[in-house]
Amino acid sequence: MDSIAVIEALAALAQATRLETFRLLVKHEPDGLPAGEIARRLGVPQNTMSAHLAILTRAGLTRSERQGRSVIYRAELDGLRALTLYLVKDCCAGSPELCGPLLTELLPCCPPEPRTS
């Protein structure tokens, strides 16, 4: 991820409704939510929510899929991963004792699957 994409993603998240929308979608992975349901849960008019979702999608943080008459939105976890890695890639000048607490905080939500050889 280059710095321009990072700035766009951070700018998209630097607004309360978009941040809450993204967090809501992350909670509902992998199923996602219909656009109207997102608007209802956050108490936002549907046309306003559409604008917010478009900004998040352009920033690479959400994706959509039409299912019948509904548009289902999902968090773009690859975008989240790229953004997070960009922010912590050079964490603590390579000192594991300093980065350890950060990594420990991130692991409980998504423990890696054991590798099989």
Contacts of 107 (CB under 8 A, 6+ apart): none
* Residue 93 pLDDT greater than 90, yes or no: no
Greater pLDDT, 115 or 41: 41
Could you tell me the residue ranges of all domains in the chain? 3-78
* Residue 72 pLDDT greater than 60, yes or no: yes
Region 77-87: what's the mean pLDDT?
Answer: 89
Measured CA distances, 5 to 56, 58, 84, 102 (Å): 12, 10, 12, 23
* Residue 111 pLDDT greater than 80, yes or no: no
Region 32-45: what's the mean pLDDT?
Answer: 96
* Residue 89 pLDDT greater than 90, yes or no: no
Give the pLDDT band of residue 11 (cuts 50, 70, 90): very high
Please give the CATH topology (third level) of the domain spanning 3-78: Arc Repressor Mutant, subunit A (1.10.10)
Give the pLDDT band of residue 85 (cuts 50, 70, 90): confident
